[in-house]
Structure 1
Amino acid sequence: MPEYTLLCPLLDTSPHIARDFVASVLRTQRLDALVDTAALCTSELVTNACVHAKGGDGSALWLSVEPGRVRVIVYDGDENPPVARELTAEGWELGGRGLQLVDALTNGRWGTAPAARRHDGPPYPEGKAVWFDLSVPR
């Protein structure tokens, strides 16, 4: 099972670079049907990490291509779980729709957990991990 890691510093360019990284990996794996969805979901999670998890060294993206699924995890140094904002009578707040998009595009196959330190791989920020899964088409 191929695994890929990208460190994402707290820069405005990180979401774009992360999106291109995921798209490139999936195209190389001949998973073109997942590129647009995975790239958009990745961009949303890395953007959230850059905006809300200020401080520290930024975030880290981990991508795994497994039989039947692709999993993307974004680790950041903020222990607070992300909050999916709801549509109110006044409409959407400026921003705040990213997790709603991730939820819709992944059919609810996303979540968050405390970041567990991995001793067998690169160091990830301690805080939380936000992930999504996409099914690999047959």
Structure 2
Amino acid sequence: MEPHAYTLCCPPQATVPKVARDFVVSVLRSLDLPHLTDSAALCTSELVTNSYVHARSHGAAALGSLLRLAVEPALVRISVYDGNPVPPRPRGARDEDEGGRGLALVDALADAWGHVRGAPLGFTGREGKGVWCELGTGRV
């Protein structure tokens, strides 16, 4: 398989996690990687949801986010960029909390995850960040 890269511009709307999830699943199915769709969909949903929620709380919501999906023979990398420069911070959620488990889920499902400062091609027009995760394809 040759490397492929896909990009989705995500407006700051509550429907974006579902749209982004469907986008990633569609790409992975079309590239004959259906065994990754469940984990990739959940990781995508968590990263995009975190971007939507936390960018809004820091005044960067109007920019939305940018999803980049890079598919290589051995791995799939999902990156979500936004205008909020604050790095992601996993937190322990209590049983009664409705949220707070996103990065813990990404950590459990992905082979690796992390963040970078800035965004590609000046997407945000100011300092922002990208949060990414990688899933092995099982192929070489």
Q: TM-score, normalised by structure 2?
A: 0.87
1:59-88 CA deviation, whole Å, 9 max, x = no partner? 00000111200001000000001111125x
Q: Is the 8 A contact 1:86 1:92 kept in 2?
A: no
Aligned to 1:105: 109
User: Structure 2 counterpart of 1:94, which letter?
Assistant: E
TM-aligned CA deviation for residue 117 of structure 1: 3.8
Q: Is the 8 A contact 2:82 2:119 kept in 1?
A: no
SS at match of 2:63: coil
Aligned to 1:130: 131
In the TM superposition, structure 1's runs of 4+ consecutive aligned residues that sit over 6 Å from their partners are none
SS at match of 2:20: helix
SS at match of 2:37: helix
SS at match of 1:56: helix
Aligned to 1:114: 117
Q: Distance in 2 between matches of 1:53 and 1:3?
A: 24
1:7-22 aligned within 5 A = 7-22=9-24
User: Structure 2 counterpart of 1:47, which letter?
Assistant: T
Q: Distance in 1 between matches of 2:119 and 2:106?
A: 22
* Structure (1 or 2) with the greater helix fraction: 2
After superposition, the CA RMSD in angstroms is 1.5
Q: Distance in 2 between matches of 1:116 and 1:15?
A: 19
Give the paired residue count. Answer: 131
Aligned-residue identity in percent? 53
Q: Is the 8 A contact 2:81 2:119 kept in 1?
A: no
TM-aligned CA deviation for residue 93 of structure 1: 3.0
TM-aligned CA deviation for residue 91 of structure 1: 3.8
Any gaps of 5 or more consecutive residues in structure 1? none
